[in-house]
Amino acid sequence: MRRRLLADHVFDELLSQLMDGTLPAGSSLNIEALARDLDVSPTPVREALARLEATGMVRRVALRGYSVTPAPTAKELTDLMDARLAVEPVTAFYACERGGEEFLAELERAVAELDASPNGPTYQEFRDYWEADERFHALVARAADNTYLQAAFAALGGLVQRFRQFSGTGVTDKQVAVAEHRAILDAMRSGVPERAQELMRLHIEGVRSRSLAERGEPAPPPGV
């Protein structure tokens, strides 16, 4: 248990440094130096870096070790959102059909926490918001009750962290994003799967457009 807690602490600390730019894009990551800085052995640092590699935030090159992944391109962001558009509206459809009262209550709590969370520019300020957002989408994926859809969501969800890593501005779209989540929740309560599916699609398209706008990139045409 103690080792697990230590590994989680090191993961959280490295994640915070990545999100805040203390470990900048492209920089090499020396396991021994990180262990000294965090006052731990190299083992939990290796475990944390392996977990972070799955998110795309760091990468490992044979014989060279770990480094911080370069900032993602606009095409990478668009491709990720296109993949989410292929998965998450479908999970919303099935979650609306299959999710029960407990699911709706959990979804409502996630929206309430999203609305109540701070959204400042540092990771410590927007972490609770981020976690509530992740929980909302994970609840929908789980309620869809489809092993393969949930696996696809899990693979994509981890990669979202990499794009938040380089925003540098915290959460700039909280008001509209909370409204979009609340609309999806209302559709789930109404029991109309097609409505839940459409609202999830519109939400992800909105996230894509807003993320591109932050980069100064043009938004794709509606429905694309």
- Distance between terminal CA atoms of the chain? 47
How far apart, in whole angstroms, are the C-alpha atoms of residue 120 and residue 129? Answer: 10
Domains, in order of start, for the chain: 2-68 (1.10.10.10), 74-214 (1.20.120.530)
What pLDDT does 4 receive? 66
Phi, psi of 128 (to 5 degrees): -65, -40
C-alpha dist (Å) from residue 155 to 39, 119, 148, 152: 32, 25, 11, 5
What pLDDT does 220 receive? 58
What are the residue ranges in the chain where pLDDT is below 70?
A: 1-4, 158-159, 161-170, 218-224
Picking from 78, 168, 74, the residue whose alpha carbon sits closest to that of residue 126 is 168
